Amino acid sequence: MRERAERLKTVRRIIKEHRITSQEQLLTILKNDGYVVTQATLSRDLKLLKVGKISEGSNGYYYTMPTEEELRENHQNFLHDLRRGFLSIEFSGNLGILRTIAGHADTVGIALDNLGAEQILGTVAGDDTVLVVIRENTPQAEVLDQLREWLPEAGV
């Protein structure tokens, strides 16, 4: 995980310091900085960092980092979605079954994916159930602690 965190920090720095117009350009700069990653990995990194694009008219687009205010607003919206739909969670090994109000599983899954909990590898949502995949060797208690932080009123 350390390499990933360092790479994400480097991607942030590059986008802030340069006018990046394509993933290919970003991949080249990353390679020059000692990071060899695939385009798919870079796409996931950009999504995780919530990188946007700004139009330069006929010159195309360039990448931009969200402002702190935008990040806070997004974080609050994801917390609201999680709080609105969450009912309970149970574990079996590194899998969790999170129950939601009917019709809320997709927004709860999206919220979990975007809130950035290191313990959670990803989610798969149904109608009222979210399969939560926990990173290997992560104690279930860590996931519960994170949920308690996000959902203090839920009695997790």
- 99-118: per-residue pLDDT in tens? 999 999 999 999 998 888 88
Domain boundaries, the chain: 2-64, 69-151
| pLDDT for the residue 74 | 84
Contact call for residues 96 and 89 (beta carbons, < 8 A): yes
79-84, Cβ contacts within 8 angstroms, sequence gap of 24 or more = 79/111, 79/115, 79/150, 81/107, 81/108, 81/110, 81/111, 82/108, 82/111, 82/112, 82/115, 82/150, 82/151, 83/150, 83/151, 83/153, 83/154
For residue 148, what pLDDT is reported? 94
The CATH number of domain 69-151 is 3.40.190.290: no
Fold of 2-64: Arc Repressor Mutant, subunit A (1.10.10)
Residues of the chain with pLDDT under 70: 1-2
Single-letter amino acid code for the residue at 83: R
